[in-house]
Structure 1
Amino acid sequence: MSQDSLVKRQFGHRARLALSPTQVVKTADQAHAARTLWNLLHAWWQIMPKERRTLAHADAAIRQARQDIDFLAVLPAQAAQAVLKTYFQAWKNCWDGRAAAPNFKGRLRTVMSVDIPQGRDLNITRAHRRWGQVNIPKVGRVRFRWTKDLPVGKQANATNRITGARLIKDALGWHIAFRIHTLQRKSKPHQGPDIGIDVGVTVPIALSDGETYEHGEWLTDKERAKLLHLEQRAAQRKRHRKPGEPTSRRLHRIYDQIAGLRAKAKRRALDWQHQTTTTIARTYGTIVVEALTITNMVKSARGTIEVPGTNVAQKAGLNRSISGEAWGRTITMLAYKTVQHGGTLVKVPAPGTSLRCSACGRTTPGSRESQAVFVCKNPDCGWSGNADHNAALNVLHLYRMGLALIPAAGRAVVRRTKRVKPAAAR
């Protein structure tokens, strides 16, 4: 196989860790030390003159801090260097306009994490069909859930290896995210049909060929009842807390239980999104979606004191539903999965796709009778059908008319390309 037919690919794989109580304490101490080291770096950056804000001077400051502050010694030296590199990269991203300026990391609002920058320190082995073992510096040998074949042992080489990992804590416990570097064969151009996609709230994903992908509630009835009970208990305890009084441990435990249930729902939603987007990317060659500005769609309707908004509660409920469906995450998954399978993802202008009749091509007031039904009010047409299917057909029509959105200087502009013939006419 020639090198021209191979392409580099870097991706991550996340697995759940099975830590003992002692290992949980050690890992948490490392995460707190990493956060403290970041804050010390940020304070050093603010007091130093510009000519001394260099990587060499920051490295010397870190070494001195690890000697002067005892609890920083629990953090491995390589993890401390990773904090330094991440901090300087954050400033580079800020100067390039890709992110905001780095700031102090608070104890309660920061995700606890520790970086393991070198993959050779992990020494990964497979101990069981469902479990593997990994070496975490200054923590020891730890088991993790084996849900994906990893390039370890004889399978690992210069072009297929694990380059590092990161320990992350969420509401469901500690996880390890492996960084994997590999060479894969280039995907051949996908010969599947073109498809238009309309995303919604009632029907999450509707395709122009009439196919729909729906899901139920992410939590069972018992879990939803438990979540409601916990939220009521938390509100009651918070209501009886005196002003300025610190949060009790009992209330913190309730918050942890609520976060655990919400994290479980998010994990199930992610699993559904991954399975659905993989199926779509494998089936269709060209996937056409709307270029939605979701941040504008979920803005509050509260208004101001001079000009108060209307239907604020209804709009707030709609905003929660839109955020819960995570349309942006669905498009992001489709973007990289279509590339892996040799397909193409195209974005087209969004205005008017749900109001235009896909049969006659006209936009007649009152045609969108409800959320689910579209009835064209044009006297010469009268077409009726599913509203989401109609919108998906309009999305595909815009692509076949040669309209596509391309980024230009931070904004999207319409580019008229060569008209694409339907697959049936090719």
Structure 2
Amino acid sequence: MSRYRMQPTPAQERALLEHCGHARFVWNLAVEQHACWRPGRGSAPGFAEQCRQLTQARAEFAWLRAGSVTVQQQALKDFAHAMGHFFAGTHRRPTWRKAGRQEGFRVVAVKPGDVRRVSRRVGQVKVPKVGWVRFRWSRPVRDTVKSFRVTRDRAGRWHVAFAIIPAPIPAPGTCGVVGVDRGAAVSAALSTGDLLHAPGLREGERARLERLLRRLARAKPGSRRRAWVKAAIARLKARGTDRRKDWIEKTSTGLACRFDVIGVEDLNIRGMTRSARGTVGAPGRNVGAKAGLNRGILPAGESRKSQAVFSCVVCKCRVNADVNAARNIRDTAAGHAVAARGGPPTGEPVNREPQRDLPLTG
């Protein structure tokens, strides 16, 4: 997906919000129908039956009829695909969409003339019942685009993402193997000894975020000031999120260009950051400490709270604990790679890079 920043006019923004509301309404109705279905009570309505019900609903309700049938039917098709992935065991069950958090809709069957470039930095995309909407032309858009998705984040920014299959990154062919260990203090530690740090909010931005959080606590619920403060907080947090996403994309691409095999630990971030609050009958313990740890894990999607030093009791080797874990991951990944291809080529090592690693134990 290639994502671009949209620049809608106020009237176009209102129309886009209506499309988002209709898509969310149709999606939630489909979720409700499947949530009420139980084995032995017949079959849940499929995509064709839901489209027939949508036609009846559009004939009965003028506010729904005023929207785009393309957007609404596509929401049902997306739900059908999500349920197919759920039954296949590859994804979780589709859940409800909440206003202000998951705003967006998808448009398919895009014609070649529906995306055009009007200047060096400005492009336009044709949205049903909205017209031509401007977006920032940050990189070329292929003529083979068949669908796009319009989204609005919590900071109020609009984006359009075109469905494009990127060209594969060729392997360097050096038989290089690297292990990657993720942590909170160090975002990623490589088995080569490199310590990578994901960017976040700067010191001044963190201070402003604390001030905004204090103002939010004092603001009256439902007031315009509270809404303004929440929007300012969302914009500030989105800035740090964009920096982390950019860093992740560049780092992962760089590793793919340098190594043939990349070993990464399989972390269950969802389970690691589960709330420790508990219930009224059985309240949790150390809730504040667990919440602080979760705030450190989620921004980087990582596993450790601090940087400890690994010290071997046999050879007395002292090394960064994350680097030592990355080397263990590297050795495991190298073993699987050798087994998959039947062993390394004759006379060639598994990893041709100069071995700069310290003795590995543990």
Report the CA distance between 1:25 and its aligned residue.
Answer: 0.9
1:313, distance to aligned residue in structure 2 (A): 3.7
Partner in structure 2 of residue 66 of structure 1: 58
- Residue 382 of structure 1 aligns with which residue? 316
Note the 1:375-414 alignment, pairs <5 A.
Answer: 375-378=311-314, 381-400=315-334, 402=335
Q: What SS does structure 2 have at the residue aligned with 1:371?
A: coil
Query: 1:54 and 1:296, CA in 2 relative to 1: closer, same or farther beyond 3 A?
Result: closer
Deviations 1:268-319 (A, max 9, x none): 1101111111111111111122233334433456678999876554443223
Distance 1:176 1:376, change over 3 A: same
Counterpart residue number, 1:198? 181
Distance 2:168 2:271 in 1: 40
1:114 and 1:304 map into 2 onto residues whose CA distance is 36
User: What is the rounded CA distance, in whole Å, between the counterparts of 2:253 and 2:175 in structure 1?
Assistant: 14
Task: Tell whether 2:253 aligns with 1:319.
Answer: no
Match of 1:15 in 2: 4
Q: How does 1:17-416 map to 2 (within 5 A)?
A: 17-41=6-30, 50=42, 53-102=45-94, 104-108=96-100, 110-120=101-111, 123-151=114-142, 156=143, 161-170=144-153, 171-181=155-165, 187=170, 190-216=173-199, 218-237=200-219, 247-299=222-274, 312-327=287-302, 371-378=307-314, 381-400=315-334, 402=335
Inter-CA distance 122–177: structure 2 relative to 1 (3 Å threshold): farther
State the secondary structure of the residue aligned to 1:34.
helix
Query: C-alpha displacement at 1:59, in angstroms?
Result: 2.1
The answer on whether the counterparts of 2:169 and 2:257 sit within 8 Å (CA) in structure 1 is no
Aligned position for 2:359:
none
Using a 3 Å threshold, how does the CA distance of structure 1 residues 417 and 295 change in structure 2: closer, same or farther? farther
More strand by share: 1
- Structure 1 stretches lacking a partner, 5+ long: 1-11, 242-246, 329-353, 355-369, 405-414
RMSD (Å), alpha carbons: 3.5
Report the Cα offset of residue 116 of structure 1: 0.9
Where 2:76 maps in the other structure, the secondary structure is helix
CA distance 1:294–1:416, shift in 2 (3 Å): farther
Q: Secondary structure at the match of 1:85?
A: helix
Q: Give, in whole Å, the separation in 2 of the partners of 1:75 and 1:193.
A: 54
Change (3 A) 1:99 1:383: closer
CA change 1:78–1:89 in 2 (3 A) is same
Measure how far apart 1:180 and its partner are.
Answer: 1.9
SS at match of 1:18: coil
Q: 1:321-347 deviations in whole A, cap 9, x for unaligned?
A: 12111249xxxxxxxxxxxxxxxxxxx
Paired with 2:272 and 2:69, the residues of 1 have a C-alpha distance of: 46
For the Cα contact (< 8 Å) 2:5–2:159, is it kept in 1?
Answer: yes
Match of 1:351 in 2: none
Measure the CA separation in 2 of the matches of 1:308 and 1:34: 38
Q: Deviations over 1:365-395 (max 9, x none)?
A: xxxxx824333333xx222233322222222
Offset at residue 112 of structure 1 (A): 1.4
Asked if the contact 2:174–2:352 (Cα under 8 Å) also holds between the matched residues in 1, the reply is: no
Match of 1:423 among 341, 351, 357: 351
Task: Determine if contact 2:181/2:189 at 8 Å carries over to the other structure.
Answer: yes
The alignment-based identity, stated in percent, is 33
TM-score, structure 1 length as denominator? 0.70
Task: Provide the C-alpha distance between the structure 2 equivalents of 1:44 and 1:375, rounded to a whole number of angstroms.
Answer: 57
1:57-78 deviations in Å (ceiling 9; x for gaps) = 3222212221221122332222
Q: Is the 2:68–2:128 contact (alpha carbons within 8 Å) kept by the matching residues of 1? A: yes
C-alpha distance after superposition, 1:10-29 (max 9, x if no partner): xx111110111111111111
State the secondary structure of the residue aligned to 2:140. Answer: coil
SS at match of 1:119: coil
Tell me the number of residue pairs that the alignment of Structure 1 and Structure 2 aligns: 344
